[in-house]
Amino acid sequence: MASPPPKRVLLLTNFEHGQANVFLATAHALLTLPDEHVEVHFASFSPIAKHVESTSAYALSHPPSPSYQAKPIIFHALPGLPMNKAWSRPEFEAENDGSRHSQGILQAWRRMQILLKCTLPWTGPEFMEIFNGVVDVVQRVNPHITAVDPAFSPGLTALRHLGRKYVILSPNTIKDFAMPFQPLGEALWKYPCIGAPFQYPIPWRQVPLNVLLIFFALLVSMLDPHQSKIQRYVGEHTNPPAKLTTLNGLSLGPPSRGVKILVANRLALEFPLKVLPPHVIPVGPIIRPVPKLEEVDPEMCSWLRRGPTVYVNLGTHVAMSEGSALEMAWALRSAINAWRERERTDKDLGTLQVLWKLSLELGCDGNLPKEQHVQQSIRSVLGQEIEDGHVRIVKWIEAEPIAVLAEKTIVCAVHHGGANSFLETISAGIPQVILPVWMDTFDFARRVELLGIGRWGNKTSSHSGAWGGELARALIEVLLGVEADRKRQKARQLAELCNKNNGGRDIAARLILKEIREGGTDGAEAISDVKLKKQDSCSKRSHTTIN
């Protein structure tokens, strides 16, 4: 008998790594599930094509069994302006310098306005160009199901308009989609508003301000003139008029009845929640398998394995001023000094190393600051360690971050609090120090302290940028403090939980395929951390082949 035709799955995403990595990881899982026959299509903007190619090649070279065969991923390039290119225009006023982590109420409120722009950064014609590209791909591929990025509004809107079967595959957190469903108005008084600097739980004296921020955030969202303009344009250029669907709208519920949101998060990594909406399915961190560091960069691997190393990587979009680079350098200087003091009485510690991926911000003239001058400033603080080869400062690391984190000598990761960075570090079992820069990054700084696996590195620093001393204290506490061993142990325990049975990528892939077979998922096999009660209201209601 002829084998049944493959299940066609279309993965539809922005190309920015924070969003796209979960799709690349799920694509790998779909290709390598030993008992499934899947034809994987991947639609995004052309810059991600090389990463789709490497994902496909790696999956095909690591089959689940010698006899297993799968076809390469088929890539479809979308037309139009990618999200990060659109939001990089001057009118979006994005802040990306790690030194300017202003935490006042007015700053938090202004950032909410920026967030709305950044999640919908296109003009009407730009939006429709991408929308039409998505429609063309969907009609040509005719997938059994599509998994779509929640921040990819043109894709969400097109799928909803076409009435096609789809699920939402999200790198975001459970909290992002579950807040309106919590009882007793907890979304207002228990959980800090996105972008606000409050601790969790919110001190009672700050509850009124939190309520005010949330009220204004909802008001601005409802009255957002840019969103209204896009909706009018989309309605005028579709028949029947399409309904604009955005990430902000998904926080209030699914866009259509029966649509599930698969979230790359677990209840064990989340703030305490009393209600889990039935359309939100936690699957755990969705981590992409990548070549080992020793295969990609043997020299870097050899250097890392010399001894315990602090890994500093503030992500793709965080660029530092000279002042913020100096703050970081002084913090690292203090941590190295404290380590040396301990090393005098504990010879087994080994010499502390630092791997620092440093990106510099553009100056007012659009050019990088004088790099040589910045390097001289850093060398005035860390010169001897750089000369001795114990501190490496690089612009780029060839290997993927998860490959670096997989090295056993990494003893602490310092990052900006992006969802991807947080989950990759969690999955590697490494304590972390977070320097939140914008919006949801503050939530991840709170999470590491709530989970007991790290510190918020600039919690009380003023907006002047003088945060080096606080970061130094956080680093020393995570590396050498009285709770350091407990933090390491808890980080390893969470990693073991997250990596069980290939982690979230296999769960996500199987739930996507289950949607094809059964027309629905209840998420029971994915939710194993905590049993939650549900409120009554919740319980009722042109292509190329990549070789």
pTM above 0.85, yes or no: yes
CA distance linking residue 161 with residue 200, whole number of Å: 39
Secondary structure element (H or E) that encloses residue 149, with its range: none
User: What single letter denotes the amino acid at residue 537?
Assistant: S
Q: What is the pLDDT of residue 220?
A: 76
Backbone angles phi and psi of 522, in degrees to 5: -105, -5
Q: What is the pLDDT of residue 368?
A: 53
Say if residue 93's pLDDT is above 70.
Answer: no
Of the spans 61-70, 300-309, 509-518, which averages the highest pLDDT?
300-309
Q: Which two tokens stand for residue 496?
A: 């073991």
Say if residue 463's pLDDT is above 60.
Answer: no
Average pLDDT over residues 29-57: 94
Say if residue 534's pLDDT is above 70.
Answer: no
The position carrying tokens 């890539």 is 75
Backbone angles phi and psi of 355, in degrees to 5: -110, 115
Residue 270 CB contacts under 8 Å (≥ 6 apart), including other chains: 173, 174, 175, 282, 447
Q: What is the pLDDT of residues 17-29, one digit of tens each?
A: 888 999 999 999 9
If pLDDT is split at 50, 70 and 90, which confidence band does 254 have? confident
Q: Which two tokens stand for residue 503?
A: 């982690």
Q: Are the C-beta atoms of residues 68 and 31 closer than 8 Å to each other?
A: no
Q: Which two tokens stand for residue 8?
A: 């066609």
The position carrying tokens 């921020």 is 213
Q: What percent of the chain has pLDDT over 70?
A: 87
Alpha helices in 193-321 (DSSP H): 207-223, 225-236, 247-250, 293-296, 298-304
Say if residue 462's pLDDT is above 80.
Answer: no
If pLDDT is split at 50, 70 and 90, which confidence band does 30 have? very high
Q: What percent of the chain has pLDDT over 90?
A: 65
Say if residue 529's pLDDT is above 50.
Answer: no
Which of 111-115, 299-303, 471-475, 508-512 is least confident?
111-115
If pLDDT is split at 50, 70 and 90, which confidence band does 522 have? very low
Backbone angles phi and psi of 90, in degrees to 5: -55, -35
CA distance linking residue 194 with residue 200, whole number of Å: 12
The position carrying tokens 């998922």 is 521
Q: Which two tokens stand for residue 159?
A: 């799928």
Q: Are the C-beta atoms of residues 405 and 420 closer than 8 Å to each other?
A: no
Which domains are seen in the chain, by residue range?
293-498 (3.40.50.2000)
Q: What is the pLDDT of residues 279-336, one digit of tens each?
A: 999 999 999 999 999 999 999 999 999 999 999 999 877 888 888 899 999 999 999 9
Q: What is the pLDDT of residues 379-408, one digit of tens each?
A: 999 999 999 999 999 999 999 999 999 999
Say how far residue 369 (Cα) sits from the centre of its chain.
28
Secondary structure element (H or E) that encloses residue 320, with its range: none
Q: What is the pLDDT of residue 502?
A: 86
Q: What is the pLDDT of residue 318?
A: 82
CA distance linking residue 354 with residue 332, whole number of Å: 8
**Contacts of 432-436 spanning 24+ positions with Cβ under 8 A:** 432/478, 432/491, 433/457, 433/471, 433/474, 433/475, 433/478, 435/98, 435/101, 435/314, 435/467, 435/471, 436/101
Q: Are the C-beta atoms of residues 148 and 128 closer than 8 Å to each other?
A: no
Q: How many CA atoms lie within 13 A of 76 on its CB side?
A: 21
Q: What is the pLDDT of residues 491-508, one digit of tens each?
A: 999 999 999 988 899 999
The position carrying tokens 């043997």 is 298
Q: Tally Cβ neighbours within 10 Å of residue 295.
A: 11
Q: Are the C-beta atoms of residues 152 and 14 closer than 8 Å to each other?
A: yes
- Residue 355's DSSP bridge partners are 311, 392
CA distance linking residue 545 with residue 188, whole number of Å: 49
Q: What is the pLDDT of residue 98?
A: 43
Handedness of CA 148, 153, 158, 164 (dihedral sign): positive
Average pLDDT over residues 115-123: 83
Q: Are the C-beta atoms of residues 118 and 87 closer than 8 Å to each other?
A: yes
Backbone angles phi and psi of 181, in degrees to 5: -95, 0
Backbone angles phi and psi of 280, in degrees to 5: -100, 115
Q: Are the C-beta atoms of residues 78 and 51 closer than 8 Å to each other?
A: no
- Residue 9's DSSP bridge partners are 40, 145
CA distance linking residue 204 with residue 200, whole number of Å: 11
- Burial of 247: CB neighbours in 10 Å, binned 0-12, 13-18, 19+: buried
* Conformational region of residue 267, where left means phi above 0, alpha means psi within -120 to 50, and beta covers everything else: alpha
Q: Are the C-beta atoms of residues 495 and 424 closer than 8 Å to each other?
A: no
Q: What is the pLDDT of residue 367?
A: 55
Q: DSSP letters of 274-295? A: S---TTEEE----------HHH
**Sheet hosting strand 38-44, strand order edge to edge:** 280-282, 261-263, 166-170, 145-148, 7-12, 38-44, 74-77, 543-545
Say if residue 524's pLDDT is above 70.
Answer: no
- Residue 233's DSSP bridge partners are none
CA distance linking residue 534 with residue 541, whole number of Å: 11
CA distance linking residue 27 with residue 296, whole number of Å: 22
State the helix-helix crossing angle for 49-60 and 17-32, rounded to 10 degrees.
30
Q: How many CA atoms lie within 13 A of 205 on its CB side?
A: 0
Residue 518 per-residue DSSP state:
H
Nearest CA to 270 out of 202, 191, 204, 217 is that of: 191
CA distance linking residue 262 with residue 259, whole number of Å: 10
Q: Which two tokens stand for residue 422?
A: 């947080």
Q: How many CA atoms lie within 13 A of 347 on its CB side?
A: 0
Nearest CA to 457 out of 353, 334, 344 is that of: 334
